[in-house]
Amino acid sequence: MKILQVHKYFHERDGAGRYMLGLMRLLEGAGHTVAPFAMQGPDNLPTPWSKYFISHLDTSRVTFGFNAFKQFTRAIWSHQAAKKMDAILHAFEPDVVHVHNIYTHLSPSVIAVAKRRGVPVVMTVHDYALLSADYALWDVSRPLPFAIPSFWTTLKTRFIKHSYLATGVNEAILRLHRLLKLYDGSIDHYLAPSEAIKRALLLLGVHESRITVAYPPISIPARSVRKDKGYISFVGRLERYKGVETLIAAMESKRLAKTQLRIIGTGPDEARLKNLAKGMTNVTFVGFVSGAALWAEYAGARVSVVPSLWYEPFGLVALEAMARGVPVIVSNRGGLPEIVEDGVSGLIYKAAEAGDLALKLSLVIDNPKLAKTLSTGAKKRAKALGNPQKHLKTVLAVYTAACG
């Protein structure tokens, strides 16, 4: 089978890109032919198909004048993306097109071209961007109701670049796309990384028969060895909606005074969090870690925490830790409760409740027997959920069905 994978980036800049590249390797390893379609960029991986990539678009800041107009029109409908997509479809002749995050960078023009050429389209939905321009459903310090928010509700969050203008423009574009059915009218089947994302698609009116839940696959180094050093770990980007503030507050409990928390990651909320933890000798900010060093951080933890306040679409870091035999404590938001079997492969606590989190942490820290039981359950659960071959089989079945 020949598959065209479409995402705005062709490198591991975000979770969706990381997933797509991993899926491409799985498909190629199974004997399928894969080509990418993305934006041009200095960090892109080498590929002979880059001549078909569209020009780079920087949306990191709010712009005005002609540049803003170009961004606006491209987000609504990119004629360049449509033309380039038509060219690569002609050259590659795929059996199926698999799209990821295309939204404002590539626009839905790429799936319309595929549909016009009679090529089936499958979409993996990685977040809540089809529901709202506030794709985290996050309002400054708390989650929005799990629903399709009104225009004004989204606008007031200033989620895009902390700007009313940027947020309002993106929401207006999304609503126009939805009105014209530019996504749902061209997508044959949706892949959801969790039941939480499936629920979001059902809110949009997508029929259940067109949605398949496929938990993301994971792979760990062959020489992965667990060495419990007794600390608590957090791995992730330091954003307010990740809930690290709750974790720091939990570490103030007397029960955890002699236990170390290692916060692994960077992000826009870092300075505020460091100020919150000022003077706490049991909290260490490690910074950004990747590769073998990251796996070593996972392996040394007694327990890992995913304290998200938002509706985490899945929680890959939880599954990665569990694959190393590390028990995980997660909040009860989004897809996280789907990963952890409470009391079997980890523990679940009430989001934003530092006292409940402290209690659950102390249960694992103070009870080596429980920690060992959860460790065994975590590894078994991760193997069942994150099996790459199982994921590949599910995705190929969706491709085959879409091809009719």
Buried b / exposed e across 75-85, counting CB within 10 Å, b at 16+? Answer: bbbbeebbebb
Helix (H, G, I), strand (E, B) or coil at 150: coil
Alpha helices in 228-367 (DSSP H): 244-250, 270-276, 291-300, 316-323, 336-339, 354-366
Which residues partner with 76 through β-bridges?
none
CATH superfamily of 231-385: Glycogen Phosphorylase B; (3.40.50.2000)
CA dihedral sign, ordered 375, 376, 377, 378 = positive
Q: Taking the CB of residue 66, how many other CB atoms lie within 10 A of it?
A: 8
The 10s digit of each residue's pLDDT in 342-397 is: 999 999 999 999 999 999 999 999 999 999 999 999 999 999 999 999 999 999 99
Q: How would you classify residue 243: left for phi > 0, otherwise alpha for psi between -120 and 50, otherwise beta?
A: left
Residue 141's alpha-carbon distances to 138, 176, 269, 273, 394, in angstroms, are 7, 28, 12, 14, 37
How far apart are the C-alpha atoms of 297 and 260, rounded to whole Å?
A: 13
Which structure tokens are listed for 153?
């509700």
Residue 140 tokens, joined: 């400054």
pLDDT tens for the chain, residues 1 to 404: 999 999 999 998 888 998 999 999 999 999 999 999 999 999 999 999 999 999 988 766 656 655 666 778 888 999 999 999 999 999 999 999 999 999 999 999 999 999 999 999 999 999 999 999 999 999 999 999 999 999 999 999 999 989 999 999 999 999 999 999 999 999 999 999 999 999 999 999 999 999 999 999 988 766 667 889 999 999 999 999 999 999 999 999 999 999 999 999 999 999 999 999 999 999 999 999 988 898 899 999 999 999 999 999 999 999 999 999 999 999 999 999 999 999 999 999 999 999 999 999 999 999 999 999 999 999 999 999 999 999 999 999 999 999 98
- The tokens for 111 are 């799936």
Alpha-helix runs per DSSP H in 163-243: 164-179, 195-203
pLDDT computed for residue 12 by the predictor: 87
Which segments of the chain belong to CATH 3.40.50.2000?
2-130+183-217+388-403, 231-385
CA Rg value for the chain: 22
State the DSSP string of 215-233: PPP----TT------SEEE
| Two structure tokens written together for 155 | 């606008």
DSSP annotation of 52: G
The rounded distance, in Å, linking the Cα atoms of 16 and 38 is 13
Q: Count helices and strands (H / E) in the chain.
A: 16, 14
Quickly count: other Cβ atoms within 10 Å of residue 195's Cβ. 16
Q: What is the third-level CATH fold of 2-130+183-217+388-403?
A: Rossmann fold (3.40.50)
Q: How many CB atoms lie within 10 A of CB 369?
A: 7
Predicted local distance difference test score (pLDDT) of residue 63: 61
Q: Parallel, antiparallel, or unpaired: how do β-strands 138-139 and 142-143 relate? A: antiparallel
Query: What does 73-101 look like in DSSP terms, one character per residue?
Result: HHHH--HHHHHHHHHHHHHH--SEEEE-S
111: Cα separation from own chain's centroid: 21
Among candidate residues 325, 318, 312, the one with its CA nearest the CA of residue 372: 325
